[in-house]
Amino acid sequence: MKNHPVGGARQHREAIMEDVHDQKRERILAVAEELFFQRGYAGTTMSDIVEQLGVAKPYLYYYFSNKAEIYETLTLRSSHACLTAMHFDASDTRPAVEKLREGLQRFATANVLYFKSGTFAYRESATRHPEVDREVRNLARKFYKELRSLLDEGRENGDLDFEDTKLTAFAIGSIAGFLYTWYKPDGAISPEDMAAQLTSILLRIAGDRPRTTRARGRSCSR
């Protein structure tokens, strides 16, 4: 039987322990997300989370120091996932409409995935640390700036058809923002189909013109 080097075995054990740690932490976040979503921040206690997990309080405090840290972790994670969807590297030279399609698909997918904790950014903001609120606001400003830029460029290229850029951008952001009021993940539409259909709706709001329509318009303008 071949023996593993001591260093390799140690790294393997550490990797396993880290994976277990992450799984336990994610379990806490999943339970807390549901409680915060259903009861609100004020209506949820650390004892409630512990009870739902079926563990002792020291278990919970090993991963998080307090309720605020859990809430802020969920808020920032969902905000980053949703509000960085329109960011593309400066070296990406694809047409704006192609990046918009990809960005809106990422945006829709993130909103479906985080439709519960995605509401925390604008619910009970007074309970969060000011630095967390500043980070969320900065993410939102950058999201809309990048979205408006792609919308304008796409319209200039003749690929998009809409009127006011700012209004269109806010309409796109708002339709996903109210997802929590009606979306049922165990309903008739699967999360994957929901994200796909939302993407299609958001692209129509942006005035994404079918390729045949764009080609016809360009040939007529010659």
Q: Of 5-19, 65-79, 119-133, which one has max mean pLDDT? A: 65-79
Q: Where in the chain is the domain with CATH 1.10.10.60?
A: 1-64
CATH of domain 71-220: 1.10.357.10
DSSP for 120-164? GGGSSGGGS-HHHHHHHHHHHHHHHHHHHHHHHHHHHTTSB--S-
Helix, strand, or coil here: 208? strand
Instruction: Specify the domain boundaries for CATH 1.10.357.10 within the chain.
Output: 71-220
The conformational region for residue 86 under phi > 0 = left, psi -120 to 50 = alpha, else beta, is alpha
Question: What tens digit of pLDDT does each residue of 78-137 get?
Answer: 999 999 999 999 999 999 999 999 999 999 999 999 999 999 988 876 677 889 999 999
The secondary structure of 7-64 as a DSSP string is HHHHHHHHHHHHHHHHHHHHHHHHHHHHHHHHHTTTT--HHHHHHHHTS-HHHHHHH-
CATH class of 1-64: mainly alpha
Q: Is the per-residue pLDDT at 172 higher than 70?
A: yes
